Amino acid sequence: MVSTTTPPSDGAQSGFARLLNRWGLPAPLFLGYVGLLLFMIGDGVESGFIAPFMAGHGAGDDIRASYVITVYGVAVMLASWLSGALSELWGPRRVMLVGLTIWLVFDVLFLAVAVTGENYTLMLVTYGIRGFGYPMFAFGFLVWITAVAPVARLGAAVGWFYFAFTGGLPTLGSLVASFTNPVLGHYGTLWLSVGILGLGGLVCLLGVRERTGFHRLAPPDVKPVQSLVNSASIAWKKPRVGIGMIVRVINTAPEFGMLVFFPTVFITQIGFGESKWLLLVSVIYGTNIFFNLIFGVLSDRIGWRTTIFWFGAIGCAISILLLYFVPLTLGADYYWVALVVGALYGATLAGFVPISALLPSLAPENKGGAMALLNLGAGAAAFAGPAIVSLFLGPLGAGGVVIVFAALYVVAAVLTRFLTLPEATRKAAEQDASLQQVAGQVPAS
């Protein structure tokens, strides 16, 4: 096979690279993971206070601030889809550069012009357009990973991606803000996030020398419009990819939905209070971070589909019921039990991590299109979850909505049984080849 990476300069570096590869982290992309973590920390700094900050600096109230965040969410969803399609055309690195530039330019405009002038219209425009930034950077890198990592260790490589992604947003980002807000204030902390994110972008784009991501992944004869159409039409040309996108929506739709009404249930109805509820949320996501990595590695051993079915879909169907009904039944005196079932839900959510390895492997000749649908599913979940709550909370109550969520996870389990790998991908796993080699665009050894 023709090498696409810079060879190690000494034995120690070679030993470090072998160690990374043994852990399932592609050594040529190591600095990319480091940069992604810093990037997502910078992006996640604002997650705990941006809505009230906007309300006090031009939006006027929480409702008008929510409109700004909704526009941002639409941009995130569109960019999530475009990141896969454009990576096929331009190469992942160029898509990441565009995402980094968009984030930095429009966040600086947001802070320096819209916020200081308390201009609501500019706030809508600048913060909304900034929403195109992080998905193009992060999911562009995810496409790069799926093109380079050997199929046999792709689950672990994707697990490391989500370890860095969720480690930054919202976990470490919020932690940074908890220390800097009392010292710098919200406005100063937002400027600090620009520096952290910019540093992460530079580490990733300047530090990764692996060449696959520098070039387009699609065949030379594929035109821009054709590539964008292919990224949507793959849903019916390759029905299993379309099914996988639905599984991806179900993965996190209940997670977004429960955050709409769980705070009221746990803080007021059960009586935990706000501080204990926030600690419970931290336990859920803190557990999720580490199990993203654990299930990524495990899935390469027992199978991606098996991991998604048992630990993701079936596991979440059980754990989300426990998360709601157990604390509600036991009451506020058994807070430690709520922490246990919360950790269980966070762990089982990570059981879906291999879907990011499975979907592009279903269509190795159009990885970007498959990743575009996968990312679109991730963005759509942010809308689907709250929409389900708005439809069913009134007639069914909170418990009924949780049962609907559990039923959706059962549906995901059924759909997962249809996600069988093509023969070419199975052979690639046996030969320790990458998906780019499966597609025939990198010479196989």
The pLDDT-based confidence of 440 (bands split at 50, 70, 90) is low
| Pair 40, 163: CB distance under 8 Å | no
pLDDT-based confidence at residue 308 (cuts at 50, 70, 90): very high
What is the pLDDT averaged over residues 163-184?
Answer: 90
Mean pLDDT of the chain: 90
Cβ neighbours, 10 Å, residue 162: 21
pLDDT at 13 over 80: no
| 289-308: average pLDDT | 95
91 Rama sector, left if φ>0, alpha if ψ -120 to 50, beta otherwise: left
Contact 407, 254 (CB under 8 A): no
The answer, yes or no, to whether residue 423 has pLDDT greater than 90, is no
Q: What percent of the chain has pLDDT over 90?
A: 62
Sole residue written with tokens 């919360």: 342
Within a 10 A sphere around the Cβ of 298, how many other Cβ atoms?
20
Instruction: Pick the more confident residue, 254 or 48.
Output: 254
* CB half-sphere exposure, 343, CA atoms < 13 A: 8
Q: Which of 278, 210, 257 is nearest to 408 (CA)?
A: 257
> What does the pLDDT read at residue 1?
35
Domains observed in the chain: 21-217 (1.20.1250.20), 236-445 (1.20.1250.20)
> Which tokens is 157 given?
């490589």
**Residue, of 36 and 278, whose pLDDT is higher:** 36
For residue 165, give both structure tokens: 């992604």
* pLDDT for 155: 95
| pLDDT tens column, 80-133 | 889 988 998 999 999 999 999 999 999 999 999 999 999 999 999 999 999 999
pLDDT tens digits along 364-386: 888 878 988 998 998 888 888 98
d(CA 404, CA 396): 9
Query: What's the pLDDT at 12?
Result: 46
- For 202-236, the pLDDT digits (tens) are 999 999 999 999 999 888 877 777 777 777 788 88
Q: Quick one: average pLDDT of 155-167?
A: 95
Highest mean pLDDT of the ranges 17-26, 47-56, 213-222, 309-318: 309-318
- C-alpha 334/C-alpha 328 separation (Å) is 10
pLDDT tens-place string over residues 51-60: 889 999 999 8
pLDDT bracket for residue 256 (50, 70, 90): confident
- In the prediction, which pLDDT does 437 show? 73
What per-residue confidence (pLDDT) applies to 326? 98
Summarised one tens digit per residue, pLDDT across range 326-354 is 999 999 999 999 999 999 999 999 999 99
Angle between helices 133-148 and 173-207 (to 10 degrees): 60
- What does the pLDDT average to over 427-444? 67
Q: Please tell me the predicted confidence (pLDDT) of residue 290.
A: 93
pLDDT tens digits, 240-254: 999 999 999 999 999
